[in-house]
Structure 1
């Protein structure tokens, strides 16, 4: 099996998480400057096989897409164009940033560490991936 790669797209930073090859465990990989993401991805795909991209889908409480979706659509279009053989699925990412922050608190990270927005993005991508894996099994 190949890995699943989850993407928490942001205007400045993009969080990335991956599964193990058996697709059992979700792990944060890194946070990349968004303008460097496609270079990062090309390098990563030279080393690892990925069978699916998960991209967070920001929704509002009333289930409508959020304003940031306008930035994500061109990103997805480019991702499809650059890597046409790897399918893309969308995953609801509501509350992932809040959950990531709470995870940092629960993990005992100090206030200064919790202010690291790159870490929040990476943890958010991991939560997106974990929720996908959980829903896949149930």
Structure 2
């Protein structure tokens, strides 16, 4: 990490003040859609009620037997990374059931890179809910 990025954060933090909002974690299963129009309405509705998305949480279900199913799941997770960024959430929490094969590990690494580009922290959560 460069010192320029760090000093930019410090400078921004100096001007921070408390906000009258409650952070919430949005369960991806509760999202009707990840379309921008829907997310825009959701973001507006949450703000009107005093909520700010802090994270989007989801369970990943990679079918190690099917490459096509694995790709569909990676695509779904990529849409959720974009949705988290659009909503202003700082993190996406992904719970992966079972043992991840090499292909799943590669897909998760690519998702982490995508999240980083979108300004969202990618957090793989264990089966017990811990990071």
Tell me the TM-score range normalised by the shorter chain: 0.3 to 0.5
TM score, norm. by length of structure 2: 0.40
Of structures 1 and 2, the one scoring higher in RCO (CA 8 A, sep 6+) is: 1
Q: Which has the larger radius of gyration?
A: 2
Q: Which has the higher strand share?
A: 1
More helix by share: 2
